[in-house]
Amino acid sequence: MEVSGGVEQRYIELKKKYSIRAGQYNDQLKLLSNKIVQLGWLRLFVFIGMIATPSYLYALMPTVALVFLLAFAICFGILIKRSIVLKKIRQELQFLKELNLSEVQALDGNWNDFETGDEFINPQHDFSYDLDLFGQGSFYQYINRTSTLAGKELLAEKLTSPTVGTEHILKQQNILRELSNKLDFRQYFYAKGKSINESLEDLRKIESFKEYQYIFLKKSRLFRLAVIAMPWLFLASFLLAFAGLPAGVSGVLFVVNLIFVASHLKTVNQVNQKFSSLTGILQKYAILTDAICSEEFGADEVRELSGKLVTSDSLNASRLIKQLSGYMNQFDQRNGMIAGVLLNGMLLWDFKYVLKIEKWIVKYNSHIFNWIDIVHEFDALNSMAGYVYNHPDFIYPEPCNEKTFSVSEIGHPLLGRDERVCNDYDFKKSIFALITGANMSGKSTFLRTVGLNLVIARCGMTICAKDMKFKAMSLITNMRTTDSLMKHESYFFAELKKLKYIIKELNKGNDVFIILDEILKGTNSKDKTYGSMELITHLLSLNAFGMIATHDLELGVLQEETKGKIVNQCFEVENRKNKLYFDYKLHAGVTQNHNATFLMKQMGIIKN
């Protein structure tokens, strides 16, 4: 890969861009904070005026005093509402400022500000544990810019279950090409998503829409007519009271309405429990769907995805989710005791909004889960697109249908450009690479480099290489096997279980890319050599494809015995005047150098 001049300049410009954006958001935050303070003082003066002015005028001009009271109260309400809006904007600006500052740090090699994905660590997974996909300093933490809970999970799923379909990879590449150039959209989406908290309980409540048993829609037609007519009767009697109708009529109707609602109170409370607190999360998804629908996309694949947020009758998902959020918000007004009594006594509030919610669910229940899934899809894709955008020197690999793996200047994407050593590799007519080398020479790093870039490539993202052609295959690694006291498993038995699993997958006829690091470590050297030869021979008979790193130099004879199906590669080390020098470059052949005894002597573990 290009490592000087142009590349460095692009990274400098990228960091500068993020720094400028952070500074702009910081300036906006200062102005907004001052405005909020000024609004607070104004609100205080209005409140004082609301108390003092009517009190002073009441004895002289009661009507004028009432007018002033109402005027000040309206102004006070407007100022409170405006203050809430400004504080939300301030929160979003704070998220944007912090995001851009974190991007600068990430480009400098520190991405600790982002979520680690510890909850997705799984030592039993085919490759994620070996390749450090999750945890502190992981690839997931490096790219994660999600702002929804399900988006976070979907990003993890994309990394652990990437596609093996060539067409799907190309489609993902086109989507990420488009989204990577949408910096404003991606950051706006992130800030809006972060500004409203959501919980797993909220998501479960939305999920419960699928099993929701309609209550009031199943009631008789007479019941639904009563729900419409009774509030109008009350309002009519209340207004007619000013024309001479006895006031007791409206009072009786008020009580009748309350009794009507009370007779269904248990059922209404159960419904309220199902939907309570959903206003916020629905607002969040209304805002995020609106952000997607409002953006103009050029790629057909992205337009197809965003187009699913419009119904067959041309209604926007954002508008419909916002409508449901409004119903939920109005329904929650009944939770205040005084408000609940007044609203139900006059308007049968509970029945009115449960019916509205149920009608909405009947009409759009089949759509809302797809809409929310699309939001989560964009959330995960935005993180992947951000990774593409942050690496202007990385390239889109070329997926092929024939079994191949050819790459030039491949490097580990999490290593800094100044310390990253890149290598070329081409399987050509071979199907397995046997990689030898001294301790610390770079074998394991190279295996992880290949493995991680293969995962990234299958996700449709750009890879750390100059160019690459590959067949997308299932990936299974065995580099970090662990024993288990709980399962009473030794390290060696755990490794055998993993190898058995690999054989099982190959016996199914699946194309599998295998990466093994120092196999059969838990047995003696003679048994290890014989067992390794037998295993590799068996893997070849099953048309396995991949790489094995080993210290067992006797395995080098397999290149000749297999007539080139296995090819020997190595990492070398030089001892110059009692100092070890590693070039971390891949060479042909079997390693000729060792360093274990030298290192133990250097560290005083054994005598010189």
| Dist CA 463 CA 454 (whole Å) | 8
* Each residue's pLDDT tens digit, 427-485: 887 888 999 887 777 888 999 999 999 999 999 999 999 999 999 999 999 987 654 44
Contacts 24+ apart (CB under 8 A), 415-424: 416/109, 417/3, 417/7, 417/8, 417/11, 420/464, 421/583, 421/584, 421/585, 422/1, 422/464, 422/465, 422/466, 423/449, 423/584, 423/585, 423/586, 424/586
Report the mean per-residue pLDDT for the chain: 88
In DSSP notation, 76-100 reads HHHHHHHHHHHHHHHHHHHHHHHHH
* 490 pLDDT more than 90: no
Residue 483: its pLDDT value, please? 46
Half-sphere exposure of 529 (CA within 13 A, CB side): 10
- SS3 state at 258: helix
* Each residue's pLDDT tens digit, 162-174: 998 999 999 999 9
Q: Where are the alpha helices (DSSP H) in 144-264?
A: 149-160, 166-180, 183-195, 200-207, 221-240, 247-262
* Each residue's pLDDT tens digit, 507-540: 998 889 999 988 877 666 777 888 888 888 888 8
Question: How far are the Cα atoms of 104, 234, 585 from residue 109, in angstroms, in the given order?
Answer: 9, 68, 23
| Dist CA 185 CA 178 (whole Å) | 11
Contact present, 284 and 192 (Cβ < 8 Å): yes
The count of residues in the chain is: 608
- Residue whose pair of structure tokens reads 């209304």 in the numeric block: 286
Contact present, 584 and 571 (Cβ < 8 Å): yes
Burial of 541 (0-12, 13-18, 19+ CB in 10 A): exposed
* 182 pLDDT more than 90: yes
Amino acid identity at 136: Q
Residue 568: its pLDDT value, please? 92
* 138 pLDDT more than 70: yes
Residue with the larger pLDDT of the pair 250 and 105: 105
| Dist CA 104 CA 18 (whole Å) | 6
Residue 488: its pLDDT value, please? 42
Q: Which residues pair with 410 in a beta bridge?
A: 423
Residue 486: its pLDDT value, please? 42
Task: Specify the CATH architecture of the domain 398-602.
Answer: 3-Layer(aba) Sandwich (3.40)
Angle, helices 349-389/183-195, rounded to nearest 10 degrees = 140
Sheet with 467-471: strands ordered across:
398-400, 467-471, 405-410, 423-426
| Dist CA 166 CA 446 (whole Å) | 25
The closest alpha carbon to 160, from 131, 181, 186, 187, belongs to 131
* Each residue's pLDDT tens digit, 542-578: 888 999 998 888 888 888 888 888 999 988 877 766 6
Residue 484: its pLDDT value, please? 46
- State both tokens at 454: 């293969």
- HEC letters along 306-331: HHCCECCCCCEHHHHHHHHHHHHHHH
Question: How far are the Cα atoms of 2, 551, 580, 591 from residue 575, in angstroms, in the given order?
Answer: 29, 18, 5, 14
- State both tokens at 123: 């030592």
* 600 pLDDT more than 70: no
* 376 pLDDT more than 50: yes
The residue-averaged pLDDT of 419-432 equals 89
Residue 520: its pLDDT value, please? 78
Sheet with 512-517: strands ordered across:
474-478, 512-517, 545-550, 432-437, 566-575, 580-588
Contact present, 162 and 470 (Cβ < 8 Å): no
Residue 200: its pLDDT value, please? 86
Q: What is the pTM of this model?
A: 0.89
Q: Which residues pair with 547 in a beta bridge?
A: 433, 515
The residue-averaged pLDDT of 136-143 equals 96
| Dist CA 432 CA 537 (whole Å) | 11
Domain residue extents for the chain: 1-113, 192-389, 398-602
